[in-house]
């Protein structure tokens, strides 16, 4: 199973329960050892101290799974292997690929070079730093301006 987002985490949780008493092995691969409750990531933008409150360790989600932390480089469907960090091949019989999505920028000029996506814990921490820095250098005559784009749960 690849990915620790909503699809990957929920599937790992359900499969972990279903396979616990069977002759089967669940291997979970992700580049992070936690699931981020993404619709709560905005809280980290405001206060980085709440990072632990908006993440769930993979060990709590699927305690019986073998967890491999790393980046998926390649999935070879013919050989039924997943290359992780260019160094380890994980064999599989069935693969669930739940590696996430890309933010849609809709070709809006300036967004790609100026916007900060909010999809990861590092994104939230980075946005926090940018806003704090902007506020620190703001003056009455030159105020900091923050534009929030999008209307998903984390933006609202």
The confidence score (pLDDT) of residue 156 equals 56
Q: 9-20: per-residue pLDDT in tens?
A: 999 999 988 887
Contact 1, 8 (CB under 8 A): yes
Q: Given pLDDT bands bounded at 50, 70 and 90, which one contains residue 59?
A: very high
The mean of the pLDDT values for the chain is: 91
The confidence score (pLDDT) of residue 152 equals 66
Report the DSSP pairing between strands 81-84 and 34-36: unpaired
Q: 61-118: per-residue pLDDT in tens?
A: 999 899 999 999 999 999 999 999 988 899 999 999 999 888 888 888 998 898 898 8
């Amino acid at each position: 199973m690849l990915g620790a987002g909503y699809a990957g985490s929920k599937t790992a949780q359900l499969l972990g329960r279903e396979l616990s008493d069977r002759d089967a092995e669940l291997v979970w691969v992700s580049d992070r050892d936690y699931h981020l409750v993404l619709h709560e990531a905005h809280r980290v933008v405001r206060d980085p101290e709440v990072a632990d409150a908006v993440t769930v360790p993979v060990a709590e989600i699927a305690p019986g799974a073998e967890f491999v932390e790393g980046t998926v480089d390649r999935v070879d469907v013919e050989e039924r292997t997943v290359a992780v960090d260019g160094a380890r091949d994980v064999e599989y019989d069935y693969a669930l690929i739940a590696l996430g999505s890309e933010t849609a920028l809709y070709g809006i000029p300036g967004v790609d070079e100026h916007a900060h996506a909010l999809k990861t814990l590092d994104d939230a921490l980075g946005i926090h730093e940018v806003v704090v820095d902007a506020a620190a250098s703001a003056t009455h005559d030159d105020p900091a301006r923050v534009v929030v784009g999008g209307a998903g749960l984390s933006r609202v």
